[in-house]
Amino acid sequence: MRRALLVALLALSGALPARALEAAAAKVDITPDLKTEKVWLAGFGATGRRPTGVHDPLYARIVLLREGKKTVALVGLDLLGFYINDTRTLRAGWEKGDPNRSLFVNATHTHSGPDTLGLWGPMIGRSGINRRYMARINARIEEALGLLESRLKPATASGGHGTLDPRGLCRDLRDPQVIDPNIGVLRLKGADGKAMATIVNWSCHPEVIGRENRLITADYPGPLCARVEEKTGGQCLFLNGVIGGLMSPDTQIENFYETARIGAAVADAALALKTEGGRGLAYRFEKALVPVENSRYLLFLSALTAGHTLYAADGKPLAAWRAWPLSLRHLLFGLPASLRPFVETEVSVLDIGPARLLGMPAEVFPELAIGGYDGRYSFGRPIVAPEGPERNLKEAPKGPYLRDLIKAPVPMIVGLANDELGYLVPGYDFKIRSSKTMLPRFPGHYEETNSIGPSATKILTEAAARLLKEPRP
C-alpha cells in the first residue's frame, strides 16, 4: 500500500508544471549632475576631459529574474567599466547574504562617460573617480532592485542567434582581421504576450564619438536601446561582447547621426532574429587570481586598488597602503615576479531559458572567441595587411574557442562582466617593450599596454572552459 502511494505521489509530482519564470525590468538615470558632481570623461589618452554638457542620458538598465528560490539581477551600465570591488559592494547591498540571489553587471564601455576606473583624472596618476557619484549609482540601483522584486510577474523567455555583416558597422583596427559577427537576442514576455525586456548582445567599442568630444553620451548603445524600446514597448538591455582586437565603429565621421545609424542597424538586426523558447535559470562563477604584470599598472598600483584588493602569491590579501611602496620599488629597482601582486576577479556563466551567457571580466580579443585565423571573419580585408606589422599566425591557438564551448541554442559572450582588467590578448601575439613605461610601443601592439598582463588570458579562458563544462539547467 505504501509503495503504491509513493508511486502515485511520484507520478503526480512529475505531472506538475515546471517552476515558472518571473521577470521585471526597469532603467534608472545615472547621468552625473554636472552642477554638483565633478567628473572627468574616460576612455581616451592618459588624462580625463572635463565635460561641458550632456547630449543624452546614461542609464542603469536592470532585468530581474526569478525561478523558484533563485533570483538573478542583470545590470547594464552606460559606463566605461565597473571594477570587481564596486560590483561586490552593489552585490552585498542587494543580496544581503542570501545564497539564492545573484548579480551580474556589465558595462557598455562608452568612451564618453565619467571615469569610474580611476585612470582618467586631471593628470597622469590622479584618479578621476567621484565617490559621491559612485555611491549615488549604487543607491539608485539598489532602490530599483527592491522595487522590481515587488513587481515580478510570470514571464516566458525566448531567444535567437545569428550573424550581422559588420561592414559599415564595426571594423578591426589590429591585424589579424577577425571581426565577431555574432548577434544574439533574448526576449522576455509577460503572460499577456507583451514585451517586458529585450536583451541584445553584439560586439563593438562604443567610440563613434571620439576624444575631442566634451558631451556625456552613451554612444551607439543609447539609440540602440531606445529603438528596441520604441518597437517593442518593453525595456532594453545591451550587453557588449568581445571588443578587443580592436573592434571599433566603421565610420568615416564622428557625429551623433552615426551613433544613431549604428544603434538602429544593430537593434533592427536583433529584432529580426527568429527565436525559440526555453526554460531554466542558473548563475555560477569562479574566482581567479591574476598577476599584475603590466609595468605601468605596477607604477600606478594605487589606481588599480581603487577597485581591486591586492593579494600576495600565496593568496593572502595585502593592505591597501602596500601599493605605494611596491610602486616605488618597481620605479627604482624593478619588481621581481616573486613580489608582484595579484588581483582577484571572476568569470561567470548565466543561463536564461535558451541562452547561455559567458561573462568575461575584460575586453576579449575575437580570436579567442571564434578563431578566424584562416580569414573567414576578415570580411573582404586581407587577414594581415602586407604593409603592416608581421603576425606569426602559425603560432595562433587552435580551437575549440570560447564560443565553441557554449553549448546552447543562444550563445552569448559578454565582456566587461563584473570587472574590467583591460585587454585579453592571445599569447602568441603579446609583444611589449621591456622598459618600465612599456614605450615606445611596437607598431600595432597598443592593446598590450592596456592589459593586466599575458598570464591573464590563459587563467581566465581556462576558468571559462571549466564553467562551461557544467550542464545547463
pLDDT digits (tens, 9 = 90+) for 33-63: 999 999 999 999 989 999 999 999 999 999 9
Predicted local confidence at residue 15, as pLDDT: 39
* % of the chain exceeding 70 in pLDDT: 96
- The half-sphere exposure of 179 on its side-chain side, counting CA atoms within 13 A, is 25
- The half-sphere exposure of 11 on its side-chain side, counting CA atoms within 13 A, is 6
Predicted local confidence at residue 125, as pLDDT: 84
SS3 470: coil
42 vs 14 pLDDT, higher one:
42
Q: In which residue are the cell numbers 559577427 written?
A: 181
Q: Which residues contact 455 (CB under 8 A, 6 or more apart)?
A: 290, 291, 293
The C-alpha cell at 445 is 601592439
Predicted local confidence at residue 325, as pLDDT: 96
Residues 432-442, mean pLDDT to the nearest whole number: 95
| C-alpha span between 347 and 167 (Å, rounded) | 31
DSSP 402-466: HHHH--SSEEEEESSBS---BEE--GGG----SSTT--SPPTT--GGGGBS-THHHHHHHHHHHH
DSSP 303-338: HHTTT--EE-TTS-B--GGGHHHHHHHHHHT---GG
Average pLDDT of the chain to the nearest whole number = 94
Predicted local confidence at residue 18, as pLDDT: 53
- For the chain, how are helix, strand and coil distributed in percent, rounded to 5? 30, 25, 45
SS3 137: helix
- Going by C-alpha positions, the residue among 208, 207, 210, 216 that lies closest to residue 39 is 216
pLDDT digits (tens, 9 = 90+) for 318-332: 999 999 999 999 999
* % of the chain exceeding 90 in pLDDT: 92
455 vs 302 pLDDT, higher one:
455
Predicted local confidence at residue 303, as pLDDT: 87
Please check the confidence at residue 29 and state whether its pLDDT lies above 90.
yes
- The half-sphere exposure of 408 on its side-chain side, counting CA atoms within 13 A, is 34
Cα radius of gyration rounded to whole Å, the chain: 22
pLDDT digits (tens, 9 = 90+) for 81-134: 999 999 999 999 999 999 999 999 999 999 999 999 999 999 988 999 999 999
- The half-sphere exposure of 50 on its side-chain side, counting CA atoms within 13 A, is 7
Please check the confidence at residue 219 and state whether its pLDDT lies above 90.
yes
Under the banding of pLDDT at 50, 70 and 90, the label for residue 3 is very low
| C-alpha span between 110 and 114 (Å, rounded) | 9
Please check the confidence at residue 16 and state whether its pLDDT lies above 80.
no
Tally of CB atoms within 10 A around 298: 23
Please check the confidence at residue 2 and state whether its pLDDT lies above 60.
no
CA angle 86, 246, 410 (to 5 degrees): 70
* Bond from prior residue into 176 cis (ω within 30 degrees of 0): yes
Please check the confidence at residue 12 and state whether its pLDDT lies above 50.
no
Please check the confidence at residue 468 and state whether its pLDDT lies above 50.
yes
Predicted local confidence at residue 164, as pLDDT: 98
